[in-house]
Amino acid sequence: MNRTLDSSRTSWLESASSRSTDFPIQNLPFGVFRRAGASGPGTIGVAIGDRILDVAGCQRDALLEDLPGRVQRACLEPALNALMSLPRGEVTALRERLSDVLAEGTAQPRERERASRLLVAQGEAEMRLPCAIGDYTDFYASIDHATNVGRLFRPDNPLLPNYKWVPIGYHGRASSIVVSGSEIRRPVGQVRPEGADQPRVAASARLDYELEVGCLVGQGNELGRPIPIDEAHDRLFGLCLVNDWSARDIQQWEYQPLGPFLAKSFATTISPWVITLDALEPFRVPAAARPDGDPQPLPYLDSASNRARGGIDLRLTVGVRTRRMRELGSPVSWMTESEFRRMYWTVAQMVAHHASNGCNLRPGDLIASGTVSGPSERERGCLLELTSGGTAPLTLDDGETRTFLEDGDEVVIRGSCERQGFVRIGFGECRGILTPAEG
Ligand code: MN
């Protein structure tokens, strides 16, 4: 494992050693920020403790001069796409260099002095989308989610027969992906209430979130050239958190026969920091074991390495902070804790499947996992599951109840990875506040 992951490595920046930080020196996620009040394009940075290290500034101050020219040029771009398009090894080299600049003992005094002038407080920065996202695909990789949702629609036959053979997904909408913190407007659409013989147009009354993990593509593949499963991780740049906002009443009416459309395309929120595959290396675990009697994956979706290390031990949580909680200063009411390692299909299987017909994945494309749910009630990753289709209201920490989201509700997703002998890393937050429908 590379030296950036060594648990004895510490930063000269004190906040990076705080036990509660998501961003110790072992993490160094990439993002794009703008100094508060500044206009113009964003700047690439890495999160460290409660600061952001300005990576473009590092290039201009000659802190990256040993790296290849194309790596240095990519650091000056206003989005991560150019960096994402480089071979994974070159991004690894950049990450090692940034780690050395920030680490106690490896940074030369003059480097440390220069880098310390390139730190921006996260509280004084506005995060942007990390990259231009050309395409967005959303999978359905949690068998517990697929079963819970399927049961609401088809009590006798919750799981369709293809589920255990083919990773199910749909093409989402890239233009409406927004960064954490953006307001989400409640959509208006065609709905057909229970018992009505005709649809009507109305603001969605069954608005939901979906707790998901997103993969941002790195180098990807050429059109016509599938990605072998054992190369899948090397074609990715990193992971983020995703909230796939979903209007269940619009979805219920429109989804057959081609799947979700306007019920999902009005907005998707992603977290601003991209956690690299390098930083996630210590947290790779065996793919979830398939129960006896389930088919083994077809050869293009199977490999010894995927079985041994295809899972990622990432714990996720989602909560709601209502308008009243914000007014009273109450904390988020956490509702769900689920584990990404339980997914029926691994990240590598989703990537290999996506490219198996020759479809090209391009730098910055977003591949989301689908709602991450687990077998117990506490592990349900959306309100549709938590409230059994809106029939069993949920009581929040302050006594308020919800079936679906109300205007003013803020949904917050967090994720973190822990393992004995390694430093805990976090994903930061993916949050969005719901505002009333237009008009
Ligand atoms: Mn989804």
Cβ partners under 8 Å of residue 435, min gap 6:
183, 184, 185, 186, 407, 408
Residue 191 and residue 196: Cα distance in Å, rounded? 10
Separation of CA 232 and ligand 1 centre (Å): 21
Separation of CA 385 and ligand 1 centre (Å): 13
Report residue 153 as tokens. 């629609």
Separation of CA 423 and ligand 1 centre (Å): 30
Residue 111 and residue 174: Cα distance in Å, rounded? 39
* Residue 157 confidence (pLDDT): 87
Separation of CA 105 and ligand 1 centre (Å): 44
Q: What are phi and psi of 152, to 5 degrees?
A: -65, -35
Determine contact, residues 133/140, Cβ cutoff 8 Å: no
C-alpha neighbours within 13 Å on the C-beta side of residue 423:
25
**pLDDT digit string (tens) for 363-409?**
999 999 999 999 999 999 999 999 999 999 999 999 999 999 999 99
Is pLDDT of 254 > 90? yes
Confidence of residue 70 (pLDDT cuts 50, 70, 90): very high
Separation of CA 127 and ligand 1 centre (Å): 23
* Residue 102 confidence (pLDDT): 97
pTM of the predicted model, to two decimals? 0.98
Q: What are phi and psi of 52, to 5 degrees?
A: -125, 130
Buried b (16+ CB within 10 A) or exposed e, 246-277: bbbbbbbbbbeeebbebbbbbbbbbbbbbbbb
Please state the rounded mean pLDDT for residues 90-101.
Answer: 97
Confidence of residue 218 (pLDDT cuts 50, 70, 90): very high
Q: Which residues pair with 216 in a beta bridge?
A: 238, 366
- Our answer to whether residue 354 is catalytic in this structure is no
